[in-house]
Structure formats: structure tokens, C-alpha cells
Amino acid sequence: MEEIQDPKKGKRVIIVMPAYNAAKTIAKTYREIPKRYYDEVIVVDDASSDETVKVAKELGLPVLVHEKNMGYGANQKTCYKEALKRGADIVIMLHPDYQYTPKLVPAMVTMITYGGYDVVLASRILVKGALKGGMPLYKYISNRFLTLIENIMLNHKLSEYHTGYRAFTREVLTTLPLLENSDDFVFDNQMLAQIIYFGFKIGEISCPANYFPEASSINFSRSLKYGLGVIATSFKFLLKKFNIKDEKIFNPDGKKLLID
């Protein structure tokens, strides 16, 4: 197969790493990203208690630090705002805990630049082996159940709504009212519901995932809270879609990321 001469098509690609206690894995994650497919990697540390910031700086990466833990959603808001300020045309969120393989960055970039997608999701479900990769059984079952419910309620079809490995165009990040979203884990799901509501084109790619002690994961009680938040988001989607109730997260005039 002929190699693509300019996989980025002149676009500026920035990879953002929302980090929390990733000192043991961030270097391995960073070093495995194929170099010609991105322009810059940015780390946002959410008040880690380990040496994540030190390791990231030793790698020569720009690091933004939250002085106190603000939550996964808040971390992403900082990530995207900083990437946009630095002129990103495409932004890829890659967790620095090595749960997702960095080697899919080329495919995600080219799916946007040559495939015409606005958003690309790396799905753990498209490829068989999520359980073999260490995904807890209750997480797998809840993932499949929630995805089924969402596909019905959002009238869409995705293999999963809960991956943390995603790529977006600049237009997506400047259009969505992301500042209306939660600062917690349900931010991810709210963002996908917004993407569907605003009519952006989503592509998926299969992605093996690894679960091990250093890989970030939320416990059962927080997973339950997340699941309830997912269902609530789907109901809000329907209320807005059928003009029953105005929901801020789906309001085109809602608060967006501001670019100074």
C-alpha cells in the first residue's frame, strides 16, 4: 500500500493527555506515539499525588497543572481549551495510563483528514477481547447495556459510548457548549450526546485495551453514578429533541470554550 505523503493534510494535530497519577506509564505512552502524525503533545495534570508532572517535564512536554483535583471532565475542558489556543485543527485525547494503544493515532488522524469524519472513537467493543484484556465483567456488561439504551434513545448506532480515546476537529470543540457539561466522568457521555445532537459525523475504529494496576479505572460506586448520569443525559437529549424542555448542554447558545 502506498504511503500517504502528508497524512495530516497540512492540519495541526495536537494530542492532549488528561493525567492523574500516571507517572509510571506516561513515558511509555508518549514514546509509542508515531511522530509524523502529530505536532505537539500537551499534558494537563489534575493535582496528581505522584511524580506525573516531573516525568512529563523530563520528557520535554508542556504541562498545565490544576492546583486541586477538579475532576476528569474539568481536566478535559482545560485540555481542549489549551489545544485550541495553540492552534489545533485536530485534537486527540489519549490517556497517559497506557490503557489504549498510542499506535492508533495515525488511523485516527487519517480518518479525519481523508475520511471526512468530524469525530473518531477508538472502540474496545468492535474488536473481540475486551474481557481478555482485563475489562472487569461488570464493566463489560454495563457498557453493553448502556450502549444499547443510548442507541435506542439517541437514535444512533455506535459500538460503545464509553471509550476515552477520541479525536475531534476544531469545529466540534468550538461548536459544542462544553462548559455546560459535568466536571466528572459523565462529561465524556454528555459530549458524545452533544456531538450526535449537533449532527457531526462519527467514525469508529477497533482498539485493544489493557487493564492493569497502573491503568486508571473508577470503582463500582462511581461506575454506578456514571451509569445513572448516562441515562439522565439520554433523557435530556429526548426532552430537547422533542422541544419538551430546554437543556443547557444541547443549547447552541450555551457556554463554550473561550479562546483568548
Residue 259 lies inside a defined structural domain of this protein? no
Residue 15 grid cell: 494530542
Residues 6+ apart with CB under 8 A from 51: 23
What is the domain count for the chain?
1
Calculate mean pLDDT across residues 164-170: 97
Confidence grade of residue 128 (pLDDT, cut at 50, 70, 90): low
CATH number of the domain bearing residue 134: 3.90.550.10
User: Do residues 230 and 161 lie in contact, with contact meaning Cβ atoms separated by under 8 Å?
Assistant: yes
pLDDT tops 50 at residue 5: yes
Residue 187 lies inside a defined structural domain of this protein? yes
For residue 21, what are the domain limits? 13-250
Q: Give the global pTM.
A: 0.93
Residue 256 lies inside a defined structural domain of this protein? no
